[in-house]
Amino acid sequence: MGNELSQSNWTRRQWLSRAPAGAIAGAAAVGLYAEAASAAAPTASSDLGARVYNVRGFGATGDGTTLDTGSVQRAIDACTQDGGGTVLLPAGRFLVGSIEVKSNVTLHISAGAVLLGSGSGKDYHAVDAIPLTGDTTLVDGNWALLYAVRAKNVTIEGPGTIDGQGFQFHSPVRGQLPPSGLGGSKRPYHLLTYQCEGLTVRNLDLVDCAYHSIRVIQSKRVHMDSLYIHNRVNGNNDGFHFISAQYLTVSNCIVMSQDDACALFGSCQNVTITNSTFSTRWSVFRFGGGQVRNVAISNCVLRQVYGCPIKFQGNPGSSYENISFSDIVLDDVTGPIHVGVGPRAPRQAPAGAPPAPVRDDMTSPHPEESGPPAVLRNISFSHIHGNVTTNPGQIDEAKVTSNANAGEKHSCIVFNCVGGATMENVSLSDIHLTFGGGGTAEDGARRDLPEYAGEYFMMGPMPAYGLYARGVKGLTLTNLRFQVASQDLRPALILDRVTDCAINGLSMEADPKAESAMRIRNSRQVLMSAVRLLTPTQVFLAAEGETTERIVIDGGDLSSAGKSLTLMEGSRHDAVRIRS
């Protein structure tokens, strides 16, 4: 009895020697289960940052008709409050209005899931924390489907879809409200971010936005990867619209937009864009305003671009430096490159009204874009091939139509520096373009072009079919080939007030009825070598102006020209030397 009373003091070995075998096995199983359960049981915060917040668990229906804005927002709020994690949209159609994405949140839109923007303007609101002034194009608006303000470590990913139902925000009659009740600058973007750091958008389809698809303002460490953007249901349907973004990468994307496919406004710096395909009714790479530095764009296909694939507008106060374009394929484009720095043309004043002031903004008044004359230096274009049309049509798969303006037809590569601005150290190499042709003798006879910059400042055909450069210092042209698909009576190349130019390996077609294959006006220090005429013409070079000097042609084949040189407008006989 005493021994039995003292069993509580037995050692584990004594207990095992006396206990039945079944009891031992059962106790062992219970003990092992308890140990495993203890090891597996989380502490209060051990899974923070790893949790998945399924929006259905927060009341979302995903039926495409019930408004799920509140449910999705509650899931995001819970996720960020817990320190971060993944907010999951499973298969379904989740109808929402404005939603804020917050720090440390990954919004995962699953395959078969659609984040469906509401077609009613009542379900959206302005993001008051995002200003409408203070940087280039901020006046465009601050309404969005998804938005983030001063957030960190935000990821929005697929493989699902974001559908903005943008046609509901398109007015069929100018001046009338669209079906949604929201128009103009109150249309919502797919995604709008402001002063965020660590933003990634990837592996996602973004379709039919009411406005710009992705608009990123003053944000850092931004990565866009493997996105498909189809945005052709409204005016101003940009693909990407970056404003003063820094440390930005864009890769492996397909963008089909109605307006700018990849706009870089303001002070965008340290940017790489690569391995992507773009198509748009307006421009692909469009730059305007700010202090732009260190941009590399490569390995891109630009197809069906009716506007200008590469476009710079350098307003007073802006500067561009260290920018590279390489390995670009152009197919059925207008333009194709337009780089202008200096004041824009004045707005057209009504009849009888005083002349409007010189326009030096982008799309609307921006007083912050005033300042010293613009500067552009160290910019290169290399390995660019393709064809340039003079008869742009309607872009594919668009619900809205638009007609080409006169300046988009019969254009060329343009480098235009006026109004005291600076453009220097510009190089083009390994460029082969076939232009549509159609320029007239009257077009080619234009000499004194308006002293303005800005896109298509001529609002009509340029006087050259291949390249027109004005006011550039330090221009290098290497291995260029310009051809035409139909008759064009304009020179292939015109240099006007250009200083320090080297041309090596230029091959060009020129019509027999053209004034000349090349024209040089009031320019100096131009060295040409290995230049070739591919077709017969009257004159190879027309040298014009009293200040034209130190023009040297050293080698090449000018035998297809009836005359190598003509001197006009006071150009001296010693201004040009031909060594071959």
* Confidence (pLDDT) at 347: 63
Question: Tens digit of pLDDT for each residue in 223-236?
Answer: 999 999 999 999 99
Specify whether the CB–CB gap between 220 and 194 falls below 8 A.
no
Q: 128-137, 326-335, 353-362: which range is least confident on average?
A: 353-362
CA distance 411 to 284: 16
pLDDT digits (tens, 9 = 90+) for 144-185: 999 999 999 999 999 999 999 999 999 988 888 999 999 999
**What is the average pLDDT value for the chain, to the nearest integer?**
89
Q: What is the pLDDT of residue 580?
A: 67
Where is pLDDT greater, at 343 or 124? 124
Do the Cβ atoms of 541 and 516 come closer than 8 Å? Answer: yes
- Please give the average per-residue pLDDT across 396-413, as a whole number: 87
C-beta separation of 174 from 235 below 8 A: no
Of 54-58, 134-138, 407-411, the one with minimum mean pLDDT is: 407-411
What's the rounded mean pLDDT across residues 256-264?
A: 97
pLDDT at 173: 84
Which is nearest to 542 in space by CA: 520, 561, 524? 520
pLDDT of 358 reads 34
Query: How buried is 424 (Cβ within 10 angstroms: 0-12 exposed, 13-18 middle, 19+ buried)?
Result: middle
pLDDT value at position 172? 85
Mean pLDDT throughout 206-213?
98
pLDDT-derived band of residue 194, with 50, 70 and 90 as boundaries? very high
Over residues 318-345, the pLDDT tens digits come to 999 999 999 999 999 999 999 999 988 7
CB atoms within 10 A of CB 253: 25
Residue type, 451: E
How much is the pLDDT for 402? 84
Q: What is the pTM of this model?
A: 0.88
pLDDT value at residue 48: 77
Average of pLDDT values for 432-441?
Answer: 96
Provide the pLDDT for residue 7: 40
- Residue 225 near residue 253, CB atoms below 8 Å: yes
CA distance 218 to 207: 24
- For position 45, what pLDDT does the model report? 61
β partners of residue 277: 254, 301
In degrees, rounded to 5, the angle at the alpha carbon of residue 192 between the alpha carbons of residues 189 and 196 is 175
Phi/psi at 26 (5° precision): -65, -45
**Is residue 297's pLDDT more than 70?**
yes
Residue whose pair of structure tokens reads 């020129």 in the numeric block: 510
For residue 14, pLDDT over 50 is answered with no
- Are residues 169 and 210 in contact, defined by beta-carbon separation less than 8 angstroms? yes
Q: Phi and psi for 222 in degrees, rounded to 5?
A: -115, 130
What integer is the mean pLDDT of 345-352? 56
Residue 192's alpha-carbon distances to 130, 143, 147, 189, 385, in angstroms, are: 9, 8, 5, 6, 35
Measured CA distances, 309 to 131, 231, 271, 395, 418 (Å): 30, 17, 18, 14, 22
- Asked whether the predicted pLDDT for residue 137 surpasses 50, the reply is yes
Higher-confidence residue of 349 and 51: namely 51
**Position 265 confidence tier, pLDDT thresholds 50, 70, 90:** very high
pLDDT in tens, 65-102: 999 999 999 999 999 999 999 999 999 999 999 999 99
Average pLDDT over residues 477-506: 98
pLDDT above 90 coverage of the chain, percent = 79
Residue 561 has phi, psi (to 5 degrees) of: -95, 140
